[in-house]
Amino acid sequence: MTPLTPIAPIALTMGEPAGIGAEIALKSWQMRSRRKLPTFFLIDDPDRLRALARKLKLDIPVKEIQSPEAADKTFDEALPVLAEPLVAKVKPGVPNVANAPCVMRSIERAVQFALEGRAGAVVTNPIHKATLHQGGFDFPGHTEFLGHLAGTKDAPVMMLASPELRVVLASVHLSLREATQNLTASAIEHVARVTNDALKRDFAIAQPRIWVAGLNPHAGEAGAMGSEEATIIAPAIARLKSEGLHIEGPKPPDTLFTKDARGHYDVALCMYHDQGLIPLKTIGFDQGVNITLGLSFVRTSPDHGTAFDIAGQGVARPDSLCTAILTAAQMHTARTANDESAAR
């Protein structure tokens, strides 16, 4: 990745208040020097953050700011927070639908700051989709909501990345049955094109190498275990190759993620959610980052959920959030350099 350079402060969203988002945000600020984190601010409830810091015996000052521009002056001495007051008291591990509008507003405000250039990137804390859906959230997840807020014409693409592996998904928040039934060549081609462009623009990879997973065991084994490789996946790969993409497959999924195989590609294009996320989280859970490709701004997130089972106990690790913040800054730097070079 491109070395980190100063950018506008990064906007962090609150995520599900009953989860570990606030705790890992506080701890990320505490690790700012050790991890060499860029300036960030959190859109959250300052009073509940102070109460949580006291409860967990974290010596972390919280300072309310009035604008993203004020974060730089505050960051060295305290965690800068733009106030988004909660309407209901938070009980760790127990989500409350009354706070769902606050969670959504936190995301909306962060995106608006990014679109205005007042935030260098958006880093989202984990949400609890079921609670948000009860509160009127009409999207399968973060990725789709961010695409809506950004006004993208084409669907954004979810990438999961760790130091040893990147994966993108032909289908995201669908059941396994729906994912296999709805698999199309056009979906594979869209994901590959967006990923190829993003690896060039946001990761400074001049010629991205994409390997495509098969859907079935042994990539169908010449039709003996399924026909989707021959009828859907291979034709899509052929068309993408004709466009100049460095893309190979379909590859047997059971050997695609070995250490030797990973050295031959920059990203694995997987056919469904767990095909990509199981190896990614197994290989690099604590450093996994969720990245949305195809947006007009950079967005990352820690690659874990709300962790209700440990919320409020002080044991949550901020590693993935710290990595998400660093990755966002590095992507912004690479994108800026690429765009400036293209404009010359």
Q: What per-residue confidence (pLDDT) applies to 5?
A: 52
Structure tokens at 189: 């081609």
pLDDT per residue of the chain (344 residues) written in tens, 0 to 9: 444 555 799 999 999 999 999 999 999 999 999 999 999 999 999 999 999 999 999 999 999 999 999 999 999 999 999 999 999 999 999 999 999 999 999 999 999 999 999 999 999 999 999 999 999 888 887 888 898 898 888 889 999 999 899 999 999 878 889 988 999 999 999 999 999 999 999 999 999 999 999 998 888 677 777 789 999 999 999 999 999 999 999 999 999 999 999 999 999 999 999 999 999 999 987 788 999 999 999 999 998 899 999 999 999 999 999 999 999 999 999 999 888 888 77
Set out the domains of the chain in order of their start, with CATH numbers.
1-152+295-344 (3.40.718.10), 157-287 (3.40.718.10)
Beta bridge partners of 270: 169
Measured CA to CA, the distance from residue 168 to residue 159 in angstroms comes to 5
Which residues have C-beta within 8 Å of that of residue 187, sequence separation ≥ 6?
Answer: 170, 171
Nearest to 325 by CA among 22, 122, 128, 60: 122
Q: What per-residue confidence (pLDDT) applies to 219?
A: 80
Question: What SS3 class is residue 245?
Answer: coil
Q: What per-residue confidence (pLDDT) applies to 2?
A: 47
Measured CA to CA, the distance from residue 89 to residue 76 in angstroms comes to 29
Q: What per-residue confidence (pLDDT) applies to 266?
A: 98
Q: What are φ and ψ of residue 163, in 5° steps? A: -60, -25
Q: Is the pTM of this model over 0.75?
A: yes
Cβ–Cβ under 8 Å, residues 217 and 167? no
- Residue recorded with tokens 């700012």: 32
Cβ–Cβ under 8 Å, residues 40 and 55? no
Q: Is 214 exposed, middle or buried (0-12, 13-18, 19+ CB in 10 A)?
A: buried
Measured CA to CA, the distance from residue 160 to residue 179 in angstroms comes to 18
Amino acid at 141: G
Q: What per-residue confidence (pLDDT) applies to 140?
A: 80
